[in-house]
Amino acid sequence: MKITVLSGGVGGARFLRGVRAHVQRSLPHAEITAIVNTGDDMWLTGLRIAPDLDSIMYTLAGENDEVRGWGRVGETERVSGELRAYGVGWPWFTLGDLDIGTHITRSHWLREGVPLSEVTRRLTSRWDLGVRLIPATDDEAETHVVVDGGDLHFQEWWTKHRAALTARAFVHQGVEKARPAPGVLEAIAEADVILVAPSNPVVSIGTIIDIPGIREAIAVAPGTVVGASPIIAGTVVRGMADVCLTAIGVATSAEAVALHYGARSAGGLLDAWLVDDADAAALPALEAAGIAASAVPLWMRDTDTSAQIAADALAVAAGVGAGIR
Ligand code: GDP
Ligand code: CA
């Protein structure tokens, strides 16, 4: 069995850890591939930073800081202190020393002309992740946020301004020229199930399916597409995704996000959608829109709760697939 997951960073990483646990317990021969958002990537102090790829790599490697919620465990920040003293970089964007090791390695290979997908393969080969990570694209297509009076890199808007400047639009710069990274279209076409992680619908999942060719490949993929809602009872659980949804005119609800993605039978992304038990009232409207919907617990408290979400998503996929074929 082949499982392909569309994923952002921290939320996607928690979900992937659950998918991996479920596969290890119940589907030992299944292969998991994650197609990862690169819209948050950027050059900073001469280094290429890829926050979502790294969040997933560290989490699956067991090297992530569970308490802080991002970055490496046991991290120190001596290099960032030096950069601040020299006045380079973003003083509000601290990179840990171990993390900088990853960025130096990535930047070194990129400067040798190695594409990001191959760089990612090399970086991740250090650990037994149990998931193949592929960047959505090898091309640099960064998310910018249009605010009154100008536009900012997504990271500046998100981290420096804590999403407090009203976003008028999200612009995925250069996306029209970006191509899916090698392996992306194959991972979509060959998947038995495509899972949409409970990641930010705008700046994680939205930026992946924006890359020319990816949405089109999903539209005709033979596998079943099942998403899990990042919104529970009208809140984002963690983070600030609600601000992104508001900016594109989508309500912060499990139902509105699913309708925004749309039913694949009507030109959208989804065959099925998991909402949290708290959002069970949304099921009839989703079914009416052509999206098979189920209510299950969607809080990813630990690996077991995430694994149960993966199991539920695959069970729904099996049911939908049986109905279609
Ligand atoms: P980022 O790239 O680091 O921002 O991470 P993602 O885009 O992958 O995921 C962020 C989203 O995950 C948040 O906006 C939340 O809505 C969602 N999220 C975080 N924790 C949970 C959880 O326990 N359950 C569910 N269903 N969603 C979650
Ligand atoms: Ca991200």
Instruction: Give the 3-state secondary structure of residue 68.
Output: coil
Is the entire prediction scored with pTM above 0.75? Answer: yes
- Chain centre distance of CA 298: 16
- 163-182: average pLDDT: 95
Average pLDDT of span 208-229: 98
176 has a pLDDT exceeding 60: yes
Mean per-residue pLDDT, 269-281:
98
The whole-number average pLDDT for the span 297-315 is 98
* 251 and 189 within one domain: yes
Distance 315 CA to ligand 2 centre (A): 28
Domain housing 11 = 2-64+116-139+175-324
CATH of the domain at 309: 3.40.50.10680
Q: Rounded to an integer, what is the distance from CA 215 to the centroid of its chain? A: 15
Task: Look at residue 321 in the predicted model and tell me its pLDDT.
Answer: 79
How long, in residues, is the chain? 325
Residues with a CB atom less than 6 Å from ligand 1: 7-12, 52, 55, 197-200, 204, 228-232, 236-239, 241, 298-300
Q: Are residues 198 and 222 in the same domain?
A: yes
Rounded CA gap, 269 and 191, in Å?
Answer: 15
Tell me the helices (H) and strands (E) count for the chain, helix number first. Answer: 13, 12
In DSSP notation, 136-167 reads SBSS---EEEEETTEEEEHHIIIIISTT-SPP
At 220 the three-state DSSP class reads coil
The pLDDT score that the predictor gives to residue 239 is: 84
Nearest ligand, CA 243:
1
303 and 201 fall within a common domain = yes
Question: Could you tell me if 24 and 123 are in contact, meaning their C-beta atoms sit under 8 angstroms apart?
Answer: no
Domain assignment present for residue 87? The answer is no
* Residues 11-32 pLDDT 10s: 999 999 999 999 999 999 999 9
Mean pLDDT of the 139-147 span: 96
In a domain, 74, yes or no: no
Which pair of tokens denotes residue 156? 């500046």
* Claim to verify: residue 17 and residue 58 sit in the same structural domain: yes
Tell me, yes or no, whether 131 and 155 share the same domain.
Answer: no
pLDDT tens per residue, range 51-67: 999 999 999 999 999 99
Q: Note whether 128 and 18 are same-domain residues.
A: yes
Per-residue confidence band for 325, with pLDDT thresholds at 50, 70 and 90: very low
Whether residues 291 and 241 share a domain: the answer is yes
Q: Is 133 exposed, middle or buried (0-12, 13-18, 19+ CB in 10 A)?
A: buried
Domain count, the chain: 2
Percent of the chain with pLDDT over 90: 94
